[in-house]
Amino acid sequence: MTALQTGILFALAGCLASCANVVPLEGGAKDETPPVLQYSSPPDRQLGFSSDKIVFEFDEYIQLKNASQKLLVSPPLQQMPELKERNKTLTVEFKSELEPNTTYTLNFADGIADLNEGNAIPDFTYTFSTGTYIDSLQVAGKIIQTYTLEPGKDMSVFLYDKQGDSLPYTSPPFYVTRTDASGAFRFRSIKNGSYTIAAVSDKNNNYRYDPPEENIAFLSENIVPFVQTVPDTS
């Protein structure tokens, strides 16, 4: 495998323990506050998740801003969920069967916004487990362009729970996330293990590396997230 003008700057592998009518505003300051989640059903971090849908209720009317394209489900599903918004409610309907004893994270990025001003909720995420606990390891890092040192923004970052140089060509990732404008990325709620990591400018969103149209970044060695104990100084 050859890296095409892109490299990974690996920053961190660590663990964090989880324990009405629509009317325009008149006068006053411009509303710059994004919607606030009032509740979700099932609730965030639900254990033994068995529902075929999730319902989110916000404090104001919402709109979706390319949310279907921005939504990342990790681990990936065979078929993406269907999103339905109405008034203050967003419903996520699963079209694929969920794996048992697995922690899933839904990341909507900035795809949910208020109806009036378009104020987006930054990095809106929801986590649940089909098992009896939530995996709590995290992996973070940054992508930079090798020759220009510019950030590798809007790249898909993949974690594989197996080894091999051909994985980005042939296999779906076990976890997926996306870099922000600074090239930074973070995986949340992953399980203990050894992982191969790669980043791809996944233009067709198929979770594969398709040369020559796409660039790739990778680390030659596997990464192993670890539990970092903070000493008690009290």
Model confidence pLDDT, tens digit, residues 109-120: 999 999 999 999
Percentage of the chain lying above the pLDDT 70 cut = 84
Q: Does 90 score more than 70 pLDDT?
A: yes
pLDDT band with cut points at 50, 70 and 90 for residue 33: very high
Structure tokens at 117: 């001003």
Q: Determine the Cα–Cα distance for residues 146 and 123; give it in Å rounded to an integer.
A: 27
Asked: is 6-16+136-218 a CATH 1.10.3470 domain? The reply is: no
Mean pLDDT value of segment 19-27: 48
What is the reported pLDDT for 5? 41
pLDDT number for residue 17: 33
DSSP code of residue 34:
P
Query: Is 37-129 in the same CATH topology as 6-16+136-218?
Result: yes
Q: 189-210, pLDDT tens digit by residue?
A: 999 999 999 999 999 999 999 9
Look at residue 233 in the predicted model and tell me its pLDDT.
63
At residue 217, does pLDDT exceed 50?
Answer: yes
Q: Where are the domains of the chain?
A: 6-16+136-218, 37-129
Structure tokens at 37: 């989640």
Angstrom distance (rounded) from CA 117 to CA 148: 36
pLDDT at 165: 87
Q: Over 60: is that where the pLDDT of 15 sits?
A: no
Q: Indicate the pTM of the whole model.
A: 0.82
Q: Backbone dihedral region of 27: left (phi > 0), alpha (psi from -120 to 50 degrees) or beta?
A: left
Q: Report, as an integer, the average pLDDT of 58-77.
A: 96
pLDDT at 6 over 50: no
CATH architecture of 37-129: Sandwich (2.60)
pLDDT, tens only, 111-147: 999 999 999 999 999 999 999 999 999 999 999 988 8
Predicted local confidence at residue 230, as pLDDT:
54
| pLDDT tens readout for residues 151-178 | 999 999 999 999 888 999 999 999 999 9
Rounded Cα distance, 90 and 137, in Å: 28
